[in-house]
Structure 1
Amino acid sequence: MTSTADSALPVTGLPEGEAEAVRSGRLDIGWARILSTLPRSRFLPDVIWPKDPATGVNIPVDKAVDPVSWRGWADADVPIVTQWDDRSTGGPGDTATSSASQPALVVNMLAELDARPGHRVLDAGTGTGWTTGLLAARTGSANVVGIEYDAAVADAARARLHAAGLDPLVVTGDGAAGWPARAPYDRIQCTYAVRRIPPAWVEQTRPGGLIVAPWETGLTHHGALVRLTVDEDGTASGPFVRSVQFMGSRPERPTPVDREDYLPSDVDSWPDGTDQTTSTLRPADLWDTPYSAAWWTVGLLVPDVVHATSTADDGTLIGWLFSRRCRSWSIAYFDDDPEAEVYQGGPRRLWDEVETAHRWWAEHGRPGHEDFGLTTGTETERVWLRDPANIIGPDR
């Protein structure tokens, strides 16, 4: 992927995240030249909402009002929201729907993708156009196809790419369908989270080609980046390489859960069949730890479940679980007591499933994301632990 001689060359003019990737040898000096001439700032709109790492809050920055601050955030190693609530203008809103990824994460994905000059590449989720542009500069514009679901976002990306002197094909459509007219591809990269690798990607990648994509369970938006190698038999398999968080695929957006469908607020007592128990698990054991491998593993082993939290008037943290298969539910109350009070009802005992999954994770050595892998094909998708033969959880 890289040469020792190239990676030892001095690196100047790059933000630290990109420079470190070149110094470490994960990206070669050819990538350094591309990144220095195509910084993220060339592909950003005038109004952006970078995520302040000190507060975790997205702050509005207008280039026309404060160009110095805008440039500082554009070059910072932070993710930047560029669209809210599927609207081409306006913001901020309730839900971030398009963004420019953190540069360090982008270069890590490029290192995993290992795109080389002459490779045919499909970039699903063009967004601002930055990653599509980087890949076009690396492999040649004629070899790159970018797909963007949002027509206004796609139009803006085309304009930025043209201004940068690049002319990859950018199509408006669902990235899950790929773009068969330019197949087969040597590499497919996705810059939004999926819950199943689209079969079209496997079908449109040549044997030996690579697919790099963020993959998540339905339980949490903290997922993991998977690097798959396509086989002659029409399957693709490979390891998860690191934890990541990306916006989800728009066509895969789940229908919101209404708590009233499970526990009507006008009922004064617990429904018949409710179980009461206690648990020594705490939020820090599960969802409270950023990018927790434990909670991600629970999502692998406890499918079709939605998680939410709220806070009672007295400060007690409440953890909610709802099944998408049936009207099963669970509520855990976390106060200062060492044991949480848990109530659960319905055909599934969701908290029991969570405890069983967490216990499995602990008994198997508390594996990290990189200990797991994925094998996918046209009909089934399976997650495995440390070896493709060691399948865990249900087929997907």
Structure 2
Amino acid sequence: MTNVPRARWGPLLERLADDLTPEPLSDPAWERAFREVPRHLFVPGYYDETADRDPTWVGAEDPGWLEGVYTDDSLITQLRRHPQAPGSWWPTSSSSRPSLMVAMLHALDVRDGHRVLEVGTGSGYNAALLSARLGGENVTTVDIGPALTSTACRRLAGAGHLPTVVTGDGAEGAPGHAPFDRVIATHSVEQVPYAWIAQTRPGGLVLVDVRSVGTPRVGHLARLEVHGDGTASGGFSVSEPGFFMPARHDLAVPQRRFPPPMDLRDAVERSSEIGARALDPPGAAFRLWAEVPDIGITSMGRAALLFTPDGAWATADEVGRVRTSGPRDLWALAEKAQNEWEAAGRPGVEEHLIEVGPQGQRIMLPGTP
């Protein structure tokens, strides 16, 4: 446990709380929890990624560490060498931006006595906030990393909080501790695991960042209400977009997608009424991803590049010169999604709807029956 006199960290925590917008701290119970839980106890170090070199560890012995902890920034707390991209790093845990955490905790809409499942223990800081608000006996937190959960247990106990900490794949929830009134995930998912719905009482809420693995800019926080028939529905109108790192189902392999090898000799060339810039609006890119969940959307210079794990790819320049290859014409799928999006009035990401049931997930345009 990092031993820092309150005289040093107390004013920093108060300043951080004061700097947050008034709305997220409007709930007195959450404001008390936020002002009572010291962030530095859960972030004894973090990686500085601002330098033009490999990430540098900043620990308690380094100048500026404490001030860095008490900023409204997301802090990377664990890195691994990327197995698919030599020379690069793969962040595997972080302490989320405090203003995002507080906004999500408010959106969770908890009441006294509610039982909450947190998926993604990480540093333990969010579990501490939940415990301060609801009592540790009402909080279960799960993470796939044994080192993360064991460290979080020590930090939580040292701070006086005793939630249930589970080591396992968060996609499975925590069936031995269900049912829950609320589920909050601190990582992103492409498909909301049905286990979370099944382990939540009717009327309960699930809050999670639903986001593309192939295109991290495409996604948003979703809030779903669980119904008595075993389904859940909701939307993406939570004020914060999210931008969480993807869930991990294997400690050694990151959840990422990369473009396949591209041989232009195999490509079919044609023209299109839409060009590379058609996918710039977030709502348009989100619509395409909702229709083709395994798609990646990126760029090659001034051209748009679409790709899927089956080896299909497509490029389009700004005037609609298209090249496609593989088992699917991905640009044709982009044209279809674009037409549907335009016909619906060009809705933003936050206007889309989401349903989850035993058969899977569906993201819909507003007004869809």
- TM-score > 0.5, shorter chain as reference: yes
Other structure's SS at 2:347 match: coil
Other structure's SS at 1:234 match: coil
- Structure 2: 5+ residue stretches without partners: 1-11
Q: Give the corresponding residue for 1:330.
A: 314
Other structure's SS at 2:102 match: helix
Q: Structure 1 residues 303, 187: CA separation in 2 closer, same or farther (over 3 Å shift)?
A: closer
* TM-aligned CA deviation for residue 198 of structure 1: 1.3
Q: Give the corresponding residue for 1:237.
A: 233
**What are the superposed Cα offsets for residues 150-174 of structure 1, whole Å, 9 maximum, x if unpaired?**
1111111111111111111111111
Query: Within the alignment, does 1:29 sit opposite 2:28 as a pair?
Result: yes
The one-letter code of the counterpart of 1:329 is W
Query: Within the alignment, does 1:122 sit opposite 2:151 as a pair?
Result: no
Query: Within the alignment, does 1:320 sit opposite 2:296 as a pair?
Result: no
Is residue 187–residue 205 contact of structure 1 (8 Å, CA) maintained in 2? yes
Other structure's SS at 2:33 match: helix
Other structure's SS at 2:152 match: helix
Q: Structure 1 residues 258, 357: CA separation in 2 closer, same or farther (over 3 Å shift)?
A: closer
- Structure 1: 5+ residue stretches without partners: 1-11, 311-315, 392-396
Q: C-alpha separation between the residues in 2 aligned to 1:342 and 1:169?
A: 53
Q: Structure 1 residues 366, 51: CA separation in 2 closer, same or farther (over 3 Å shift)?
A: farther
Q: Give the corresponding residue for 2:163.
A: 168
Is residue 274–residue 335 contact of structure 2 (8 Å, CA) maintained in 1? no
**What are the superposed Cα offsets for residues 54-109 of structure 1, whole Å, 9 maximum, x if unpaired?**
x9999635234533x2222211112111111289xxxx952111111111111111
Q: C-alpha separation between the residues in 2 aligned to 1:77 and 1:286?
A: 31
Q: C-alpha separation between the residues in 2 aligned to 1:45 and 1:309?
A: 38
Q: Give the corresponding residue for 1:259.
A: 260
Q: CA RMSD in A?
A: 2.9
Q: Give the corresponding residue for 1:191.
A: 186
Q: C-alpha separation between the residues in 2 aligned to 1:196 and 1:371?
A: 18
Q: C-alpha separation between the residues in 2 aligned to 1:130 and 1:171?
A: 15
**What are the superposed Cα offsets for residues 244-297 of structure 1, whole Å, 9 maximum, x if unpaired?**
21111112855744633xx34xxxx622x61232565344x425x7xx232122
Other structure's SS at 1:321 match: strand
Other structure's SS at 2:47 match: strand
| Larger RCO, structures 1/2 (Cα 8 Å, 6+ apart) | 2
Match of 1:384 among 334, 358, 364: 364
Q: Give the corresponding residue for 1:300.
A: 290
Q: Give the corresponding residue for 2:246.
A: 248
* TM-aligned CA deviation for residue 139 of structure 1: 0.7
Q: Structure 1 residues 41, 355: CA separation in 2 closer, same or farther (over 3 Å shift)?
A: farther
Aligned residues: percent identity?
Answer: 33
Q: Structure 1 residues 123, 15: CA separation in 2 closer, same or farther (over 3 Å shift)?
A: farther
The one-letter code of the counterpart of 1:309 is S
How many positions carry a matched residue from both structures?
A: 348
The one-letter code of the counterpart of 1:361 is W
Q: Give the corresponding residue for 1:359.
A: 339
Q: Structure 1 residues 39, 56: CA separation in 2 closer, same or farther (over 3 Å shift)?
A: farther
Q: Give the corresponding residue for 1:9.
A: none
**What are the superposed Cα offsets for residues 325-348 of structure 1, whole Å, 9 maximum, x if unpaired?**
x44221234xxxx52532112342
* TM-aligned CA deviation for residue 27 of structure 1: 4.1
* TM-aligned CA deviation for residue 25 of structure 1: 6.3
Q: Structure 1 residues 188, 118: CA separation in 2 closer, same or farther (over 3 Å shift)?
A: same
Q: Structure 1 residues 342, 71: CA separation in 2 closer, same or farther (over 3 Å shift)?
A: same
Is residue 117–residue 140 contact of structure 1 (8 Å, CA) maintained in 2? no
Other structure's SS at 2:162 match: coil
